[in-house]
Amino acid sequence: MPPTTIFDIPTPSLILDRAKLVRNIQRMADAARSKNVALRPHLKTAKSIDVARLAMEGQAGGVAVSTLKEAEYFASHGIMDIQYAVCILPDQLERVASIQQQGADLTLITDSVAVTRAICERGKELGANFLVQAELDCGEGRSGVFPDSKELIEIARLAHEASHARFAGVMTHAGHSYQCRSIAEIEKVAEVERSTAVRAAERIRDHGIPCATVSIGSTPTALHARSLDGVTEVRPGVYMFGDMFQAQINSCGVDDLAVSVITEVCSHHASLDRLLINAGALALSKDRSTENMPNDVGFGLVTDARGQLLKHKMKVARVYQEHGQVPLVEGVSYEELPVGTRLRVYPNHVCMTAAMYNHYHLVDSDKGDGCEVIATWPRVNGW
Amino acid sequence: MPPTTIFDIPTPSLILDRAKLVRNIQRMADAARSKNVALRPHLKTAKSIDVARLAMEGQAGGVAVSTLKEAEYFASHGIMDIQYAVCILPDQLERVASIQQQGADLTLITDSVAVTRAICERGKELGANFLVQAELDCGEGRSGVFPDSKELIEIARLAHEASHARFAGVMTHAGHSYQCRSIAEIEKVAEVERSTAVRAAERIRDHGIPCATVSIGSTPTALHARSLDGVTEVRPGVYMFGDMFQAQINSCGVDDLAVSVITEVCSHHASLDRLLINAGALALSKDRSTENMPNDVGFGLVTDARGQLLKHKMKVARVYQEHGQVPLVEGVSYEELPVGTRLRVYPNHVCMTAAMYNHYHLVDSDKGDGCEVIATWPRVNGW
């Protein structure tokens, strides 16, 4: 039987290019190594053990996750050092204890003294030993305590002194690096991220409490920080794939994007200069993060089936539940793109788009014509 | 063991209120009956056999779907009359033939003469008998041929005369009814939808071709059309659940919304007047369809865990991948909503939000305190 190609699989489907994935992973590994920090890949974007294995190659072995379902899944695949990088809730602790009973060290984060107390108490009740990190706000204003707050010391002390918990360090996330439009701006945010985490760790140590881990991370800051002195690890995630938004904030180039959606032209409107593809709001997500960027691609950049730019730039201007509307641009006619033509769409925000699919169709643009589907890799969605 | 309640299940989870669902279904069934048309529930929103069974009660037995995966799923549950209401692609015909071999009549739609030709040819090659409807544009400008076009007659004739296809009628969808802001406006769009479909059917019949089905449908037009003379069926979908957008275009009231997301307060920011819930972009979707509406609820309206409005209106103002940011409003303090407090979020666009979950947790607000989870109903996502 001939090999399955991207021209055979149902549309819409999610395509992952192994060659680009590996290069993206290598670039971040080099960046972390050059700054003398461990790389803890954040698997919130990939949600795949196969991607995790590539991202962990040559690294210390720790990962970060964004859901307990991911934690359960990666623990079941033998990953033993997992940071659950979303503030823990007391009613999740039983599930955490179960994951630990599988043998995984699952580190929890919190910015709440009350939750830390609950962790210490439930640890005792459940016979568990919970690992607690304090989350810091380094300027994003999303979650986290401030490095100079009394709450920080209180969280550290409670966890440190508890019989069934341990204080494992501090972590912060400069999500506001996504607002930066130049590398110089990212460097500034990265330095605040670094100094916030280091300052917090020093204060904790000054109180006689060990603070082993000093964890920071976003793809832009992990790549572009000038110094990570005092930091022990970075936790970027989206770098593995990249997307149209990341390509505009200096995280990668459009040529580096490893994930796209394969789709087909499904209708030419009788009289209007636009065509429909069978990838809409569900296949692409409603993310519009390129809306105010220099290269606004609507709901995604349209390329040919192989992922090569078309001679004229086309984009998904509007989405319906199952349809994407692509305006024809000057110099392109319906005859060039008949119904059934396969196209690819590079999404704005790959975390959102990938979440609509249960698996990746793996291709490798370095092998042959790059169209063969060489594997199918599952994803773990949901909570 | 005590019954499982909405206070026990993991967050975020999708809640479906059976009492409201049944009332919404009843309202649409009454509307269809009063206009002497069959109701063909569109299952693109619900994607659930359990919901389908309720929606089909007392109806003719036909449904509409938005993906072939839904078609396969509902056929496997014994539904025999399925309209795949998205323009069919030639490379999907083998899958269509397989579904038909399971015994289901799967009606296809197209607005393309070339695709109709492919359907007739592939029907012969596959030994199938494809049912073809012509899709009409009644003003939305998305897909469909115009009722006075020569393409319409060509599609009908090709399917009618083919050895392995049958022409099954015309269908149209007034998706632009979502732009209407008054019932009077909806009535006008509904009348154009009706007259477009009826005009197309008459032209086809004038050419000596039978046109059995005259199908229209959107929730607003199906509810508010003043007359559906000449129409044989309506295909609304979102009416079963409703959402914050539909509640503002006269499809339902906020009290009718049957689907919500249960979530928990997971962080109070140290110094800012906002809290975080553990329902973000993945749990709610990035749909912003209430953005320009009188009642803009951000990414969703926040209520208490039972679905009752809070004394002050709160909304999800911003979403991150796993967090929603809810600004505190005057008169509410953190003490009233400590970390771990369960809340519900009523989404803007329920089709998008529900698609992030693999199942519904069923409650019934007419029974007891409405908090017991009486069943778990699976959904069929993907393509």
Q: In CATH, what number is assigned to the domain containing residue B123?
A: 3.20.20.10
B294 lies in the same domain as B146: no
Beta carbons within 10 angstroms of residue A105's beta carbon: 16
3-state helix, strand, coil split of chain A in percent (to 5) is 35, 25, 40
CA-wise closest residue to B314 among B291, B350, B343: B343
- Residues of A with CB below 8 A from B92's CB? 10
Mutation target to probe the A interface, by most A beta carbons within 10 A, among B5, B339, B358 is B339
Distance of alpha carbon A45 from alpha carbon A219, whole angstroms? 12
At B264 the pLDDT is 98
Does A270 score more than 80 pLDDT?
A: no
Distance of alpha carbon B58 from alpha carbon B56, whole angstroms? 6
Query: Where a domain ends, among A211, A240, A269?
Result: A240
| Mean pLDDT for the stretch of residues B101-110 | 96
- Residues of A with CB below 8 A from B356's CB? 355, 381-382
Q: Residue A94 domain-assigned?
A: yes
Does B126 score more than 80 pLDDT?
A: yes
Q: Residue A247 domain-assigned?
A: no
Nearest to B67 among A267, A322, A339 (CB): A322
The Cα of B83 is separated from the nearest Cα of chain A by a number of Å equal to 15
Band of residue B272 on the pLDDT scale cut at 50, 70, 90: confident
Q: Residue B245 domain-assigned?
A: no
Band of residue B2 on the pLDDT scale cut at 50, 70, 90: confident
A194 lies in the same domain as A47: yes
Number of structural domains (chain A) is: 2
A340-378 in b/e form (b: 16+ CB < 10 A) is bbbbbbbbbbbbbbbbbbebbbbbbbeeeebbbbeeebe
Domain of A301, in residue numbers: 254-378
> In this predicted model, what pLDDT tens digit does every residue of A19-50 receive, in sequence order?
999 999 999 999 999 999 999 999 999 999 99
Could you tell me which chain B residue has the CA closest to the CA of A319? Answer: B142
Which has more confidence, B118 or A269?
B118
How much is the mean pLDDT over chain A?
Answer: 96
- Residues of A with CB below 8 A from B339's CB? 89-90, 112, 114-115
Nearest to B383 among A10, A142, A340 (CB): A10
- Residues of B with CB below 8 A from A137's CB? 269-270
The Cα of A53 is separated from the nearest Cα of chain B by a number of Å equal to 23
What's the Rg (C-alpha) of chain B? Answer: 22
CB B75 within 8 A of CB B99: yes
Instruction: Tokens for A154, please give them.
Output: 């209180």
**CB distance B278–A141 less than 8 Å?**
no
At B278 the pLDDT is 98
Query: Where a domain ends, among A240, A275, A291?
Result: A240
Band of residue B270 on the pLDDT scale cut at 50, 70, 90: low
CA-wise closest residue to B355 among B375, B382, B377, B373: B382
Q: Residue A69 domain-assigned?
A: yes
- Residue A126, H or E segment: helix A113-126
- Residues of A with CB below 8 A from B218's CB? none
The Cα of A274 is separated from the nearest Cα of chain B by a number of Å equal to 9
The Cα of A270 is separated from the nearest Cα of chain B by a number of Å equal to 6
For chain A, list the strands marked E by DSSP.
Answer: 13-17, 38-39, 62-65, 81-84, 105-110, 130-136, 165-172, 213-216, 233-234, 259-268, 274-277, 301-304, 309-315, 318-319, 324-327, 342-346, 359-363, 375-378
Mutation target to probe the B interface, by most B beta carbons within 10 A, among A196, A321, A342, A359 is A321
At A2 the pLDDT is 84
**CB distance A10–B90 less than 8 Å?**
no
**CB distance A340–B91 less than 8 Å?**
yes
**CB distance A11–B340 less than 8 Å?**
no
Collapsing DSSP states into helix, strand and coil, what is residue B46?
Answer: coil
A173 lies in the same domain as A275: no
At B377 the pLDDT is 98
The Cα of A34 is separated from the nearest Cα of chain B by a number of Å equal to 29
How much is the mean pLDDT over chain B?
Answer: 96
CA-wise closest residue to B351 among B305, B295, B304, B289: B289
A147 lies in the same domain as A91: yes
**CB distance B352–A281 less than 8 Å?**
yes
> In this predicted model, what pLDDT tens digit does every residue of B137-152 receive, in sequence order?
999 999 999 999 999 9
Distance of alpha carbon A81 from alpha carbon A136, whole angstroms? 21
Nearest to A322 among B86, B151, B272 (CB): B86
A349 lies in the same domain as A263: yes
A235 lies in the same domain as A261: no
Nearest to B269 among A92, A143, A325 (CB): A143
Query: Residue with structure tokens 């046109």?
Result: B211
**CB distance A352–B281 less than 8 Å?**
yes
DSSP strand pairing (B81-84 vs B130-136): unpaired
**CB distance A143–B323 less than 8 Å?**
yes
Please give the full DSSP string across A52-63, using - where no structure is assigned: HHHHHTTS-SEE
At B376 the pLDDT is 98
> In this predicted model, what pLDDT tens digit does every residue of A171-207 receive, in sequence order?
999 999 999 999 999 999 999 999 999 999 999 999 9
B112 lies in the same domain as B259: no
CA-wise closest residue to B140 among A281, A325, A288, A330: A325
A74 lies in the same domain as A99: yes
A214 lies in the same domain as A270: no
The residues pairing with B81 across neighbouring beta strands, listed in sequence order, are B62, B105
Instruction: Provide the percentage of residues in chain B whose pLDDT is more than 70.
Output: 100
B207 lies in the same domain as B353: no
- Residues of B with CB below 8 A from A271's CB? 146
> In this predicted model, what pLDDT tens digit does every residue of A339-360 receive, in sequence order?
999 999 999 999 999 999 999 9
| Mean pLDDT for the stretch of residues B63-90 | 98
Collapsing DSSP states into helix, strand and coil, what is residue A10?
Answer: coil
**CB distance A89–B340 less than 8 Å?**
yes
Could you tell me which chain B residue has the CA closest to the CA of A110? Answer: B267
Distance of alpha carbon A260 from alpha carbon A284, whole angstroms? 9
**CB distance B276–A87 less than 8 Å?**
yes
Does A320 score more than 90 pLDDT?
A: yes
> In this predicted model, what pLDDT tens digit does every residue of A131-181 receive, in sequence order?
999 999 999 999 999 999 999 999 999 999 999 999 999 999 999 999 999
Query: Where a domain ends, among A240, A265, A290?
Result: A240
> In this predicted model, what pLDDT tens digit does every residue of B166-205 receive, in sequence order?
999 999 999 999 999 999 999 999 999 999 999 999 999 9
A300 lies in the same domain as A206: no
CA distances in angstroms from A35 to A195, A226, B194, B293, listed in the order given: 15, 8, 67, 49
**CB distance B89–A339 less than 8 Å?**
yes
**CB distance A90–B66 less than 8 Å?**
no
Q: Residue A5 domain-assigned?
A: no
**CB distance A268–B321 less than 8 Å?**
no
Query: Which CATH number covers residue B364?
Result: 2.40.37.20
- Residues of A with CB below 8 A from B334's CB? none
Beta carbons within 10 angstroms of residue A317's beta carbon: 16
Nearest to B269 among A12, A86, A141 (CB): A141
At A372 the pLDDT is 98
B264 lies in the same domain as B235: no
Q: What is the DSSP letter of B138?
A: S
Instruction: Provide the percentage of residues in chain A whose pLDDT is more than 70.
Output: 100
Distance of alpha carbon B290 from alpha carbon B329, whole angstroms? 19
The Cα of A129 is separated from the nearest Cα of chain B by a number of Å equal to 21
Q: Residue B248 domain-assigned?
A: no
**CB distance B276–A382 less than 8 Å?**
no
**CB distance B89–A358 less than 8 Å?**
no
**CB distance B141–A175 less than 8 Å?**
no
CB pairs under 8 A between A and B: 156
If 0-12 CB within 10 Å is exposed, 13-18 middle and 19+ buried, where does residue B195 land?
middle
DSSP strand pairing (A62-65 vs A81-84): parallel
Distance of alpha carbon B165 from alpha carbon B153, whole angstroms? 15
Q: Residue B105 domain-assigned?
A: yes
Q: Residue A200 domain-assigned?
A: yes
